[in-house]
Structure 1
Amino acid sequence: MSLPAGQKSADLFKRMKGFELLGTKEHPSDFSLIRAEYINTRIRLLALLFSVLTPLWIPVDFLILPDGTFLSMMLARICLSVSLLALWFRTSFTHSLRRARQRLIILMVIPSIFHLATQMILGDYLKDESLASYTFLPFLIIAIHCVFPLTLKEGALLAFLTIFALSVDEMIHGRFLTLQSLNTLWLLGVIMGIAVWAQLSQLHMQLKLFEKATTDSLTGLLNRRSFMHQAETELNRSERYARPLSIALLDLDHFKNVNDTHGHQAGDQVLIHFSGLLKEELRSTDLIGRFGGEEFIIVLPETPVHEAEKVLERILDNCRNQAVRYDGGVVNYTASAGLGELVSDIRSSLHAVDIALYQAKEQGRDRLQRVPEQNQPEMNTYNKL
C-alpha cells in the first residue's frame, strides 16, 4: 500500500498495524520531512560536540601514549575533528530523508575510520591496561545510534554498516573469528539491539504525536491546520505544472436538529458516516479535511470544476439515500456544497466557495452550488494558457 501525498488520516495509521516501524513506505510525506529535519539537527549537534571534544584529549595522549605514537594520534584526532566540523557546517535548507540518511551514515563512518587508525597507530600497545580507554570508541559509536528515530530497516542497515566498519581492523589482521573478536562482536550486537529498540521507540512516539497533531480524532480526517498546509502544497504544484485544482466546502444540513432530536451520539455517528463516505468516493490523492463542526473541505488535484461537480453530486446523492444507524435508531441526513476552482491563493478561493455554500443553503439545502466564473478569484497559470 502506498500512502498518498495528501490524505494522512487516522484510519490509515490504524491500518498500518506496526508496519510504519518496519519501513518508510507507509509514512506520510510531511512526517518524513519532519523526521529528516529532526535527524539532521541531531547529526549537526553530535558532529559539533565531538569535533570540539576530540582535540581536547590531545594533552592526555601526550602524557600516556608511548613514544613515536603521539604525533600520529594527534594528526588522526585533528582529521577527525575537521571532518566532523565539516559535517556540522555542510547543511542544506531543503531537507530530505535520503540526504538525512546519507549524513547519518557519514556520521557513523567517520569515527569508525578514526577507530581503525587508532588500532593501526597503537598496535600491540593496546595490550597495555593503561590504554584500555582507546578500545571503547566502538561502544560509544553504537550508543550514538540511540538518539535517532529510525525504522527497523534503517536501523538494521546502519547497524550492519557500523559493525562492519568497526571490524575492518580485525579482518585485516586475521583476528575476525578469534574467541576474543567474537566476544567483542557479541557485546557490540547486544548494545546495538538495545540501540535499535530505542530508535523504534522514538519513531513510534513521533508517529503518534504526528497523528494527533494532524488528524481529527473523531473522523480521522485531516484537521484544519494540516489541511491548509497541504492544500498550499497542492496549489503550488498546480501552478508549477499548469494543472487544474478544484476545492469544495460541504456542510451537513440541519445538523443541530440531529443533535437535538437524536442526541450527540447520533450526531457523532453521522459525522463518522459522512467522513467514511468522502473517503470512499474520493481518490487517495484528494485532500479531505474536517473544517470545523459539521463542515468539511476537500481539494481535488488535477480535476477541473466540471469533473469535480460530478463527484460532488454523487456524494450528495449517497447522503440522501443512506441512513445512519445508532444505538437509538436510524437517522437520515443531507448535505450542501459550494464548489469552485482553487486559484491564486487558498483563502480567497475558500471565501468564494463559502459564499457558494451559503447560496446552496439559501436555495433550499441538499444541493451543490458552483462559484460563478465572474466571482472566481484571479486565475492561475492553468487558466491563463
Structure 2
Amino acid sequence: MIFEALLDVSSDKRHSRYFNQTRSHFLFRRIRIIALMLAIIQPAWLAIDYLLLPQSMFESIAYSRAIAASACLALGIWTQFRYSLRTAQLRLLLLVMILSAFQVATSELLIIHGYSTNVAGYQFFPFMIICMIAIFPLSITEALIYILVVLFIELLTQFARQKLGDVDSINNLWLLAVLGSISGWAAINQLSMLLGLYRQATRDALTGLANRRQALEQLESELLRHQQQQHSICVLLFDLDKFKLFNDTYGHAAGDIVLKSFAHILKKQSRRRTDLPARYGGEEFLMILPGTTASDALVIAESIMEACRNAKVKTPSGDSIGFTTSIGIAEYQAKETCDQLIHRADKALYEAKANGRDRACIAEANQDYTEVIA
C-alpha cells in the first residue's frame, strides 16, 4: 500500500490524462496568482530601496526590479495551454528562473557596492524561492528537479564570487537543502491529497472506474478537442445481460462481484491513457475512445465480449458462473452534442439486446444500425 502510494506521487506517468489536466489548471492558477502578486510587490519594494541605497545604485536596482516585474506580469497574463501539464511545468520553471536571475543580479550589485547586509530581503531571496515550492502540488521527480535548480544556481553564484567552500556558503547550501527537503515533502503531500480528492470525486466506489459525472465531463472535453484537432471519437455503451435476473438468483453480493470483474476487463482493454472506462449507472458502463473510429471500436468491443465469455466469477454461495454483455457503439458526428452521441449509442445497445444479446451494434449516421454478432 505504501509502495503504491509512493508510485502514485513519483511522477506523472501513472496519472491519467484527465487528472493531469486537472493538476495543470491547478498549477496554472497558483503560478498566475503568485506571478501577478510579484509583479505588484517588486515595484512597491522600491520605496525601501530608495531609503537605504545611494542614488547611483538605486537606479540599477530599479531597472532590475522593472525587468523582473515585467517578466512576472508576462507570466501572469500568459493564459494559453492552461490544461497542458508540460506547459504548467514550464511556467513554474520560468517563475523560479525569473526570481533566481533577479536575486543573482541584485546581489552582485549589492556586494560590489558593499550593501549586501544593509538592505532587507535580498540575502533571504534564495530561501524564499525554495520555500515557494511548497505551494504547488508536485511529484517527487518535479520537486527534486526544482530544488536542484535552485541549489545549482546558488553553487554557481558562490563559485562566481569565489566563496565556494567557506563556512557561510556551506551553511547557506545546507539550509537550502533542508528547506528544500521540507518544501519538497509539502509539495508531494499536496499532490497526494489532490490525487485522493480527485479520485473520491471522480471514481465509482464499487468498481474504481470513473463515475458518470466524470465520464460526461471528459466526453464534453473531448468534443471540444475534436473541434480543434478533428480527430475521431467513439463511445461504447455496455449493459450486462440479464443482470436483474442474476441478482435475483444469486444475490446482490454476487452481482457486485460481477460488476467488479467486468470493470477489471474494461481496465485491461483500455490500453491507452486517453481511453476512459466508466460506470454509467447500475449495470451500465461507458467507454470513451478518443482518436478511434467505429471499425476500430468494434475490434475492442469484440475483445471485451470475448473476455466476458471466458471470465468466471465465484459467488458467495460457491457457484462459478459466467456473464455476457451487449454493446452499443457510436462514432461522433459533426455538430453532435454529448447527449445526442450517447443517445445514438443507447439506441444501438437496444438493438443489440433486441437481437439476442451478447453482441455489438454500430450506430450509423442515419440512425440505422448495423448488427455485428461476435
Which TM-score band (shorter chain)?
Answer: 0.7 to 0.9
The DSSP-based 3-state class of the residue aligned with 1:54 is helix
TM-aligned CA distance change 1:20 to 1:254, over 3 Å: same
Q: Name the structure, 1 or 2, with higher relative contact order (CA <8 Å, separation 6+).
A: 1
Q: Which residue of 2 aligns with 1:197?
A: 185
- TM-score (normalizing by structure 1): 0.81
Deviation at 1:77, TM superposition (A): 2.7
Does the Cα contact within 8 Å between 1:235 and 1:343 map onto a contact in 2?
A: no
Of the three residues 270, 289, 294, the one matched with 2:283 is: 294
Q: Which residue of 2 aligns with 1:271?
A: 259
Counting matched residue pairs gives 364
Deviation at 1:269, TM superposition (A): 0.5
Deviation at 1:184, TM superposition (A): 1.0
Q: Which residue of 1 aligns with 2:343?
A: 351
The DSSP-based 3-state class of the residue aligned with 1:270 is helix
TM-aligned CA distance change 1:376 to 1:116, over 3 Å: same
Q: Which residue of 2 aligns with 1:327?
A: 316
Of the three residues 232, 250, 263, the one matched with 1:262 is: 250
Per-residue CA distance 1:70-98 (angstroms, 9 max, x = gap): 33333333333233223223332554222
Supply the AA of the counterpart residue of 2:349: L
Q: Which residue of 1 aligns with 2:114?
A: 125
Deviation at 1:20, TM superposition (A): 3.1
Supply the AA of the counterpart residue of 1:158: Y
Supply the AA of the counterpart residue of 1:157: I
Does the Cα contact within 8 Å between 2:107 and 2:116 map onto a contact in 1?
A: no
Deviation at 1:366, TM superposition (A): 4.4
Question: In angstroms, what is the RMSD of aligned CA positions?
Answer: 3.3
Q: Structure 1 CA distance, aligned partners of 2:64 and 2:298? A: 68
Q: Structure 1 CA distance, aligned partners of 2:347 and 2:2? A: 36
Does residue 154 of the first structure (1) align with residue 146 of the second (2)? Answer: no
Does residue 338 of the first structure (1) align with residue 328 of the second (2)? Answer: yes
Does the Cα contact within 8 Å between 1:231 and 1:287 map onto a contact in 2?
A: no
Unaligned runs of 5+ in 1: 1-12, 378-385
Deviation at 1:192, TM superposition (A): 1.0
1:179-198 correspondence runs (5 A): 179-198=167-186
| Overall identity of the aligned pairs, in % | 37
Supply the AA of the counterpart residue of 2:200: K
Does the Cα contact within 8 Å between 2:250 and 2:315 map onto a contact in 1?
A: no
Q: Which residue of 2 aligns with 1:137?
A: 125
- TM-score (normalizing by structure 2): 0.83
The DSSP-based 3-state class of the residue aligned with 1:329 is coil
The DSSP-based 3-state class of the residue aligned with 2:12 is coil
Per-residue CA distance 1:98-145 (angstroms, 9 max, x = gap): 2222222221122222222332222263465x5454312221122111
Unaligned runs of 5+ in 2: 370-374
Q: Structure 1 CA distance, aligned partners of 2:323 and 2:207? A: 17
The DSSP-based 3-state class of the residue aligned with 1:136 is helix
Does residue 89 of the first structure (1) align with residue 77 of the second (2)? Answer: yes
TM-aligned CA distance change 1:310 to 1:136, over 3 Å: closer
The DSSP-based 3-state class of the residue aligned with 1:69 is helix
